[in-house]
Structure formats: C-alpha cells, structure tokens
Amino acid sequence: NAGVMQNPRHLVRRRGQEARLRCSPMKGHSHVYWYRQLPEEGLKFMVYLQKENIIDESGMPKERFSAEFPKEGPSILRIQQVVRGDSAAYFCASSTTLGGEINTGELFFGEGSRLTVL
C-alpha cells in the first residue's frame, strides 16, 4: 500500500509564474489536507478537502491560492502569480474516518513539495 505521494518534490518558479503541487492520497483515503511549513516553523493548516468538495479552506489565502480534489486523479494545490513569500514546504496528508468521527482518522503525510520562488 503506497503512502501519500506528492510531486514534484522540488519546484523552482520565478515571481509571477504559477505553481501546481500534486498529492495522491493513500489508497482508500478520501480526505486530503494541505499544510504549509516555513523554514524553522511549524505546520500551518491551509485547506481540507473530500472528493470534489472543499470542506474547510480557512487557512488558505483568499487570493492566488486554490485547491481541488477531483473525482478522479490527485488533489492539486495551485498558486498563481507566485511571490517570494510563497517559498515553503507544502505538505499533503490524507486520512480515512473511523466510526464517522472525522478527527479520529490518523493523518498520513507525504514527503512534501518544496517550492522556491526566485
């Protein structure tokens, strides 16, 4: 059973370009979470998605950032017109629910995508 797969692992973009980060959850997991981690800092929640639905995007900037988790294919975190401050590691996690309690599902993390904006 493959773990959470993220790609690319490293991405370099110039200011103003677009960045697309992909996350394939573990098999059987229908919940995906995106987190951002700045150097020397903790993980910050961005967005929580289930298949075809955004459940909570309270941690995601209103402009330039968007996320989707289509019925088929990986979840995508899209950053338009990147700026230097977007440079960070972006982690994806997936989970499955246990007994209907959304938050008792263990979170399994990918290895992250490291975005560098020049």
91: contact with another protein by CB under 8 A: yes
- Options 21, 46, 48, 88; binder of another protein; rule CB under 8 A: 48
- Tell me how far apart the alpha carbons of residues 10 and 70 are, in angstroms, rounded to a whole number: 23
- Options 13, 22, 44, 64; binder of another protein; rule CB under 8 A: 44
| Subset of residues 56 to 75 that bind another protein, contact rule: CB under 8 A | 56
Residues 6+ positions from 76 with CB-CB distance below 8 Å? 20, 21, 22, 23, 67, 68, 69
Q: In a 3-state reduction of DSSP, which class is residue 102?
A: helix
Q: Which is nearer to another protein, 14 or 28 (CB)?
A: 28
Binding region for another protein (CB under 8 A) out of 13-21, 61-69, 79-87, 100-108: 100-108
Residue found by looking up tokens 């989707």 in the block: 68
Pull the structure tokens for residue 73: 């294919």
| Subset of residues 1 to 40 that bind another protein, contact rule: CB under 8 A | 4, 33, 35
- Tell me how far apart the alpha carbons of residues 86 and 15 are, in angstroms, rounded to a whole number: 10
Q: In a 3-state reduction of DSSP, which class is residue 60?
A: coil
- Options 88, 110, 115, 117; binder of another protein; rule CB under 8 A: 110
Interface with another protein (CB under 8 A): 4, 33, 35, 41-45, 48, 55-56, 91, 101-104, 106-112
